[in-house]
A and B are shown apart, each in its own frame.
Chain A
């Protein structure tokens, strides 16, 4: 699986949009970008994933650049409960036999939402 690079930490103001960048310059054509977050002492929580197109769900939006070498997770209106470590992960999708199935977590971005 391709390696990802994320900033170590970032702060954002409550009620404002939080934009979390991720670089994955070695991503392959069959690899998806997944985002999880982990609130202190809890298991990771799935947020969103995408392949090429931008994606949106009730939690966040995922913007993937046209060359797919980077992406941005957008939390549209950050709340204090969004304070967490956010992980950007690249992995092959279903049916890719050689890929394995594990998620490879990096260090993530520690996001602190401030009042």
Chain B
């Protein structure tokens, strides 16, 4: 069973640019989560999907952020008009009905 994969692993962008990250969950996991982690802090929840439905969003997810999971498999997280404060590690996790979440390696975003 392959784990959760995330691409790219690193992204450097200029302020104001749009970026998109991809997460491929463990196969047959119907739940997918996005978290954000800034330096020295624990991960913070952003949003959660069950199959293709986005069921919960954190207030951290401003209107510049959008997440999709169009066919209930992989998911994308897009940040529009990036700001320096968006610099962080973006983590994806997936789970099945046992509810234990398994994390991917993360995408580290640096906004210059």
Query: Which residues of A are in contact with B by a Cβ distance under 8 Å?
Result: 34, 36, 41-46, 49, 85, 87, 93-94, 100-108
- CB-defined contacts of A42 to chain B, threshold 8 Å: 105-106
* Most A CB within 10 A of own CB, among B33, B42, B106: B42
CB distance from B97 to the nearest CB of A (A): 6
B20 at the interface (CB under 8 A from A): no
User: Among the listed B31, B102, B104, B108, which residue makes an inter-chain contact with A101, where contact means beta carbons less than 8 Å apart?
Assistant: B31
CA distance A101 to B95 in the complex (A): 10
Query: Which residues in chain B, 15-66, are within 8 Å of chain A measured between CB atoms?
Result: 31, 33, 35, 41-45, 48, 55-56, 58
- CB-defined contacts of A101 to chain B, threshold 8 Å: 31, 33, 48, 55-56, 95, 99
Encode contact with A along B79-112: 1 for CB under 8 Å, 0 otherwise. Answer: 0000000000001010101111111111010000
